[in-house]
């Protein structure tokens, strides 16, 4: 009996001990969970209760024309929001009042018919009312509210209605230089970021800095300390471009008129100072309106003068002649002994653009007549290796090293069989960008030295209150001064006696060349589709400007002499007057 009692006592003791150890184990596990596993979240919760971080963001850097006038800036706008729990019971009336004021600032609403206005007002009112009846503590109603609209809404003195202030991009010249500026969009996280053009290329320079202040509070919410993690708000850097406002606006206007007049699918115009490489105007059609970029096809965002490669055709003959002259393979009076008919390369027959031939034509007349057989004669004398070397010297295939997003190397051909060498001598079978051609021809205008093209004049840093002038890079000698001078004279002769002579015979002298090329497609070329272009500089001696015009698939005429050349003349005359 006693043994049984002792056994029961031992069992009970063990059970008590087990219970104690179990309780200690559970307590230990909970302490481990709170102190180790849950520690970060608990600290974060405590920080949210007793600490507050206030952020302030500076302004994004502005863009300016070379004369200091504003190209892209910032404007303060407001976000209309509501706190539904603070609103009066009749939220339908609040929604109608807000909708009426918001729509009064919409130009499309003002010009709409009465029935359309009524329908639009009803739709916006319903949208607002639905949001105002939401159970959330805060709901956004309308973005980009102007100062005038904000004041009108505030006069209603509606409880639960408020505004957040933020900045958006301002475009005082509407869509001017859209392919140069790019635009500001949003990241996946909703943060502003620059895309395309300067906005994309110089995002790190333009973006504002953020200042954050850490505020500590006691259990009652009173502020007990402020710790500034950054001493001051820093605005982004302001960028001054090389663009001249007067030229940019004029070139855009005339290019658009030219595209419409000649029924072209697209158009480009570039104005450069060939001595410095500064781009004074650059326009492309079709374009887009930066604040409403989302309404445009994304293909339009890309700068075609930089990223759309094409076969240049006869404007490329300038480089072929330059290589032949500089290498001593030809001179202006060298006669072509193979220019009396088409050239044959195996199964391929290559003809002139008009199937007209000039036996023993000189190189001067061959360039003026845009004679394909004369160009093939030059590369026969040069050889493929020398011709390829000169194209590399002219920067064909190389990036421009310019502050525009999308600036990269382009494909340079590797296969230089006789037939490819022949076609590339007159600008077919090789693809380049418009800016590569402009840079190369600038070398002829600049006495044989190829300038580094630039679009940025300077940058102002508000952090140091200093302005940094951009150094685009040193000029690179490509051909001798004598070659440049001789070729310039040949280009003057080509402008006066070539297929576009009717445009220039009564004007001041220029050095220039037309180009009509076929549009490449998979497996060959499109029928009845051309790219018409003209590139030239004036005056021929010590030129002020170089102008390039390109029209894609003009329909009034396929020939550059009847489309691109007269448009070049129209724009060049206005540049000459204002330069």
**What is the pLDDT averaged over residues 264-293?**
97
> Which one, of 315, 318, 284, lies nearest residue 300 by Cα?
284
Note whether 155 and 303 are same-domain residues: no
pLDDT of residue 17: 73
Note whether 155 and 299 are same-domain residues: no
Q: Are 139 and 79 in contact (CB under 8 A)?
A: no
Residue 117 lies inside a defined structural domain of this protein: yes
Can you spell out the DSSP letters for 111-157? HS-HHHHHHHHHHHHHHHHHHHT-SSS-EEEEEEE-HHHHHHHHTT-
* 197 HSE (CA, 13 A, CB side): 26
Per DSSP, the chain holds a count of helices (H) and strands (E) of 20, 21
* 531 HSE (CA, 13 A, CB side): 27
Note whether 278 and 408 are same-domain residues: yes
Residue 571 lies inside a defined structural domain of this protein: yes
Residue 203 lies inside a defined structural domain of this protein: no
Q: Are 186 and 294 in contact (CB under 8 A)?
A: no
Site of tokens 């129209």: 570
Residue 183 lies inside a defined structural domain of this protein: no
Note whether 260 and 150 are same-domain residues: no
Domain final residue, candidates 103, 131, 159: 159
Note whether 379 and 477 are same-domain residues: yes
% of the chain at pLDDT higher than 90: 73
What range defines the domain where residue 94 resides? Answer: 84-159
Domain final residue, candidates 159, 187, 218: 159
Site of tokens 């018409």: 532
Q: Check pLDDT > 80 for residue 540.
A: yes
Note whether 462 and 347 are same-domain residues: yes
Note whether 113 and 260 are same-domain residues: no
**What is the pLDDT averaged over residues 341-354?**
92
Residue 31 lies inside a defined structural domain of this protein: no
Note whether 541 and 428 are same-domain residues: yes
Q: 516 pLDDT band (50/70/90 cuts)?
A: very high
pLDDT of residue 397: 96
Domain count, the chain: 2
Residue 90 lies inside a defined structural domain of this protein: yes
> Is 248 in a helix, a strand, or coil?
helix
Note whether 420 and 551 are same-domain residues: yes
Q: Check pLDDT > 90 for residue 30.
A: no
Q: Check pLDDT > 60 for residue 227.
A: no
Note whether 472 and 574 are same-domain residues: yes
Structure tokens at 400: 């421009």
pLDDT of residue 536: 97
Structure tokens at 64: 């300016």
The enclosing domain of 452 has a CATH number of: 3.40.710.10
If you average pLDDT over every residue of the chain, what do you get? 89
Would you tell me the crossing angle of helices 481-497 and 317-326 to the nearest 10 degrees? 140
Note whether 147 and 269 are same-domain residues: no
Domain final residue, candidates 106, 128, 159: 159
Residue 357 lies inside a defined structural domain of this protein: yes
Q: Check pLDDT > 70 for residue 417.
A: yes
CA distance 286 to 253: 12
Q: 142 pLDDT band (50/70/90 cuts)?
A: very high
Phi-psi region of 479 (alpha: psi -120 to 50; beta: other; left: phi over 0): beta
Note whether 368 and 251 are same-domain residues: yes
pTM: 0.85
Residue 204 lies inside a defined structural domain of this protein: no
């Amino acid at each position: 009996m006693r043994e049984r009692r002792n056994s029961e006592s031992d069992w009970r003791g063990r059970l008590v001990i087990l219970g104690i150890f179990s309780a200690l184990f559970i307590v230990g596990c909970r302490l481990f969970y709170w102190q180790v596993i849950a520690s970060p979240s608990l600290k974060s919760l405590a920080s949210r209760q007793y600490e507050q971080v206030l952020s302030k963001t500076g302004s994004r850097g502005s863009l300016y024309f070379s004369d200091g006038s504003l190209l892209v800036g910032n404007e303060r706008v407001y976000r209309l929001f509501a706190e539904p729990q603070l609103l009066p019971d009749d939220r339908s009336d609040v929604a109608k009042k807000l909708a009426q004021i918001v729509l009064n600032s919409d130009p499309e609403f003002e010009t709409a018919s009465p029935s359309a206005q009524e329908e639009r007002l009803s739709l916006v009112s319903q949208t607002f009312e639905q949001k105002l009846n939401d159970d959330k503590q805060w709901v956004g109603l309308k973005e980009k509210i102007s100062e005038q609209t904000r004041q009108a809404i505030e006069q209603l003195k509606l409880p639960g209605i408020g505004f957040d202030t933020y900045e958006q991009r301002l475009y005082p010249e509407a869509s001017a230089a859209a392919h140069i500026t790019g635009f500001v969009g949003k990241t996946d996280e909703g943060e502003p970021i620059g895309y395309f053009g300067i906005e994309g290329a110089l995002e790190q320079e333009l973006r504002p800095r953020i200042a954050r202040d850490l505020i500590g509070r006691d259990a009652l919410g009173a502020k007990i300390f402020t710790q500034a993690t950054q001493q001051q708000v820093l605005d982004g850097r302001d960028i001054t471009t090389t663009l001249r406002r007067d030229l940019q606006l004029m070139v855009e206007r005339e290019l658009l008129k030219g595209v419409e007049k000649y029924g072209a699918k697209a158009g480009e115009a570039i104005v450069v100072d060939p001595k410095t490489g500064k781009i004074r105007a650059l326009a492309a059609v079709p374009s887009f309106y930066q604040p409403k970029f989302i309404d445009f096809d994304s293909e339009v965002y890309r700068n075609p003068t930089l990223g759309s490669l094409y076969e240049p055709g006869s404007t490329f003959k300038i480089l072929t002649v330059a290589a032949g002259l500089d290498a001593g393979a030809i001179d202006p009076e060298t006669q072509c002994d193979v220019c009396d008919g088409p050239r044959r390369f195996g199964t391929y027959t290559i003809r002139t653009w008009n199937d007209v031939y000039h036996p023993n034509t000189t190189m001067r007349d061959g360039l003026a007549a845009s004679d394909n057989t004369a160009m093939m004669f030059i590369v026969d004398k040069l050889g493929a290796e020398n011709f390829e070397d000169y194209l590399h010297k002219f920067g064909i295939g190389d990036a421009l090293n310019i502050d525009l997003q999308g600036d990269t190397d382009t494909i340079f051909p590797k296969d230089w069989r006789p037939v490819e060498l022949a076609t590339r001598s007159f600008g077919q079978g090789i693809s380049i960008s418009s800016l590569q051609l402009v840079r190369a021809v600038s070398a002829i205008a600049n006495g044989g030295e190829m300038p580094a093209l630039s679009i940025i004049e300077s940058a102002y840093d508000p952090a140091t209150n200093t302005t940094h002038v951009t150094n685009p890079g040193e000029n690179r000698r490509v051909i001798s001064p004598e070659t440049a001078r001789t070729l310039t004279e040949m280009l003057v002769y080509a402008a006066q006696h070539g297929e576009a002579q009717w445009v220039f015979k009564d004007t001041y002298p220029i050095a220039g060349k037309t180009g009509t090329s076929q549009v490449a497609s998979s497996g060959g070329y499109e029928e009845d589709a051309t790219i018409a272009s003209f590139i030239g500089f004036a005056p021929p001696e010590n030129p002020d400007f170089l102008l390039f015009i390109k029209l894609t698939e003009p329909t009034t005429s396929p020939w550059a002499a009847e489309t691109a050349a007269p448009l070049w003349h129209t724009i060049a005359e206005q540049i000459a007057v204002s330069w």
